[in-house]
Amino acid sequence: MVKGVLGLHHVTSISSDPQKTLDFYTKILGLRLIKLTVNYDDPSTYHVYFGDEIGHPGTVLTFFPWPGQPSGRKGAGQATNTSFSVPQESIPYWQDRLKSQGVSVKAPTQRFGDPVLSFDDHDGQGLELVGSKEVEGRIGWTHGPVPREHAIKGFHSVTLLEEVLERTESVLVDTLDFRQVGEEENRFRYEAGKGSAGTIVDVVSRPKAQRGFVSVGTVHHVAFRASNDEHQKDLRQEILKADLNVTPVINRNYFHSIYFREHGGVLFEVATDQPGFAIDESPEQLGTRLTLPPWLEHSRAEIERNLPPVSLPKRIIA
Ligand code: ZN
């Protein structure tokens, strides 16, 4: 029997400046830079990965920095918010921290019983911190500037904005095996898997919403977890059955991926948990140098020449 996805694997967004992106996510949010590589489809640009201590699936936010590209517009057919979990009692800490770092943040709101802090990064990327009761056992990155007890514990959820709830719901529920678990006004909550980071997708239904435009400051795609290649193959069959156009398996070095656009327009990916980020750097060394996949290594000198220089975050030993 085919089992559905295990939750979120990673979210990939578009930013403007690679250095500003590195600084915001490591120095302000305290995530670990777990991989500095290039966009395999365009090696003249970076692909940077942030996550928890080793980049467990469900904790990984990645960016394509596209300097000089226009700003995107959040709208229908897009993931408009990426939400991280923090301990519930850490919400006041984060409200103060964000303010003190010059990030505009409103007072926490309540959603499905949890406090939510909403803010944007420097490019307008929609972010949230959800005070969650279910972060036990998750460590987060403890060698960054955020004290261990307040560290981000991976994803909570993503929010999709859709004009027609039912057509996205059918992909989530019938194809990927999410279950509907809640409803609050026009927000519908779905959950997959259990007990790990990032098991929730919210769909906000707004029939007359303007379509979004994917560029700087917006989410490029949302990736879900398959446990291995065999599981991904089964999921690919389910996606085909739903009359969705899905790519063949593409080797992304740290995982294997298939991509398809759900009926509402959001680009979805299904990525394998294996082999993970420690295949070309030890867990201690993650994100400390530019890594390239084997098929680009022979062009390293040229690739390095074409990339803008960046300074990498320093590890803090507490
Ligand atoms: Zn991806």
Q: How many CB atoms lie within 10 A of CB 73?
A: 15
* Pairing, β 219-226 against β 267-275: parallel
Q: Which residues surround ligand 1, an ion (CB under 5 A)?
A: 12, 223, 269
pLDDT number for residue 52? 96
Domain ranges of the chain: 8-306
State what percent of residues in the chain have pLDDT above 70.
98
Residue 173 Cα to ligand 1 middle (Å): 21
Residue 267 Cα to ligand 1 middle (Å): 10
What confidence tens digit (pLDDT) does each residue in 12-34 have? 999 999 999 999 999 999 999 99
pTM recorded for the entire structure: 0.96
Secondary structure (3-state) at 68: coil
Residue 10 Cα to ligand 1 middle (Å): 6
Q: How confident is the model at residue 272 (pLDDT cuts 50, 70, 90)?
A: very high
Q: Evaluate whether 60 touches 90 at the Cβ level (below 8 Å).
A: no
What confidence tens digit (pLDDT) does each residue in 278-318 have? 999 999 999 999 999 999 999 999 999 999 999 998 876 65
Q: Which two tokens stand for residue 62?
A: 């990645």
Q: Which two tokens stand for residue 244?
A: 């969705």
Taking the C-alpha atoms of residue 305 and residue 205, their distance in angstroms, rounded to an integer, is 46
Q: Among all chains, which residue has been given the structure tokens 């930013």?
A: 15
Q: Evaluate whether 217 touches 125 at the Cβ level (below 8 Å).
A: yes
List phi, psi (to 5°) of 235: -65, -35
Residue 90 Cα to ligand 1 middle (Å): 30
DSSP annotation string for 216-248: BTSEEEEEEEESSHHHHHHHHHHHHHTT--BPP
pLDDT number for residue 75? 98
Residue 79 Cα to ligand 1 middle (Å): 13
Residue 221 Cα to ligand 1 middle (Å): 6
Q: Please name the fold of domain 8-306.
A: 2,3-Dihydroxybiphenyl 1,2-Dioxygenase; domain 1 (3.10.180)
CB proximity list for 235: less than 8 A, separation 6 or greater: 2, 4, 5, 176, 226, 258, 270
